[in-house]
Amino acid sequence: MDLAEKVFIVTGGSSGLGKAFARELKINLANVVITGRDELKLKAAAKELGCRFCHADMTRDEDLDEVIAFTLKTFERIDGVINNAGIGGWSPLEELTRDKLREVYEVNVFGAAMMAAKITPIFKKQNYGTIVNVASTASLKGYKYGTIYSSSKFALRSMTQCWQAELRPHNVRVIQINPSEVPTAFGKEDSIEKDLEPKKLTPKEIADVLIASLKMDERGFIPEVTIHATNPF
């Protein structure tokens, strides 16, 4: 796909991986709408990147409708959605609660699912489109205290595979990207970005994989790709 003038929605685009995705899409001359819950941070990111923004909470269906309507009104098309918005959640098993599970699932699972559900009629009608689900290596293997977060990403991986089977006849690509640890503001209550570490991945590496996946000729797609640091220790 030639990304020039294509239109992408990037959820959770005000920082971290989402911001890096938006930046690289803009470098490749795409039009981008970023979303996020922190309106001030979202506006600042959009100004820095030179893209559009729509204040939205992935747990609210009406917000997702607004994002899609805003994008269509602004650019008259949508070529792809990057389901990047996500939150963390860790808990010893004996401290697990329904509320803790629900908080993470509302964003990581239900939010991604509803965005895909709402964009699918558009993609089916135009007979093309791309959905990218940003998961994690946690979608491949569970870990201690990871019941909440890891299971949410396992669910996202399952949904990705279901959507691939359902949407391939409509020429819609569904891609999953699994980053390993990247120092960002993810999981931090103060939302301040962590310092990058010499041996760990940066958002740029993950964004490079996104761009390479999108640029593949539309006759093919990468169902799933995982990115590890070469020597993170």
Give the CA distances from residue 231 to residues 69, 80, 163, 194, 201, in Å, rounded to whole numbers and listed in that order.
44, 33, 34, 19, 10
* CA proximity to 58, closest of 42, 75, 74: 42
Q: How confident is the model at residue 204 (pLDDT cuts 50, 70, 90)?
A: very high
- For residue 18, give the nearest of 186, 190, 148 by alpha carbon: 186
Distance CA 112, CA 83 (A): 6
Reply yes or no on whether the pLDDT at 188 is more than 60.
no
**In the CATH scheme, what is the homologous superfamily, with its name and number, of domain 7-227?**
NAD(P)-binding Rossmann-like Domain (3.40.50.720)
189 Cβ neighbours under 8 A, 6+ residues apart: none
pLDDT attached to residue 109: 98
CA distance 174 to 116: 10
* pLDDT bracket for residue 195 (50, 70, 90): confident
The pLDDT, as a whole number, for residue 185 is 55
Average pLDDT across the chain, whole number:
95
Distance CA 93, CA 27 (A): 44
pLDDT above 70 coverage of the chain, percent = 95
Q: Region 184-192: what's the mean pLDDT? A: 56
* 54-68: pLDDT as tens digits: 999 999 999 999 999
pLDDT(197) > 90:
no
Q: Tokens 């640029």 label which residue? A: 215
pLDDT in tens, 19-44: 999 999 999 999 999 999 999 999 99
